[in-house]
């Protein structure tokens, strides 16, 4: 598995969970097979640009969001990416809970 494929897959999973989607739902919205989505998320498949575009449309985010900063995720001074990497190690349920908490804090602070 290449590092860039693994990082891309982590981003797909992160945004999918952030939007409260299952792999099956993302596959349906993307026109791709659920098994393929799982393989992409685990970095087992190297996505074509065409598939990446389908996934970005399924997630309803610009493709640029999926590919930005793919090579700098390991930067230890980058706090958002440190948090991001830790979140990816948690279960889907825990990721969703933490996302809700963070959103509530931000909404409260900036109301």
- Spell out the domain ranges in the chain: 3-109
- Please give the Cα distance from 102 to 76 (Å, whole number): 21
pLDDT tens-place string over residues 52-85: 999 999 999 999 888 887 764 455 566 777 787 7
Mean pLDDT of 44-58: 95
- Please give the Cα distance from 65 to 61 (Å, whole number): 7
Which of these CATH numbers, 3.40.50.2020, 2.60.40.3140, 2.40.10.480, 1.10.260.40, describes 3-109?
1.10.260.40
- Please give the Cα distance from 42 to 101 (Å, whole number): 26
């Amino acid at each position: 598995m290449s590092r860039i494929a693994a990082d891309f897959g982590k981003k797909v999973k992160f945004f999918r969970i952030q939007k409260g989607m299952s792999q099956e739902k993302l596959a349906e919205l993307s026109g791709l097979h659920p098994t393929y989505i799982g393989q992409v998320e685990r970095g087992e498949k190297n996505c074509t640009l065409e598939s990446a575009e389908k996934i970005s449309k399924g997630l309803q985010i610009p493709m640029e969001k999926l590919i930005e900063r793919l090579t700098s995720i390991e930067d230890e001074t980058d706090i958002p990416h440190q948090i991001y990497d830790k979140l990816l190690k948690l279960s889907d349920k825990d990721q969703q809970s933490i996302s809700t908490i963070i959103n509530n804090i931000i909404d409260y602070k900036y109301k």
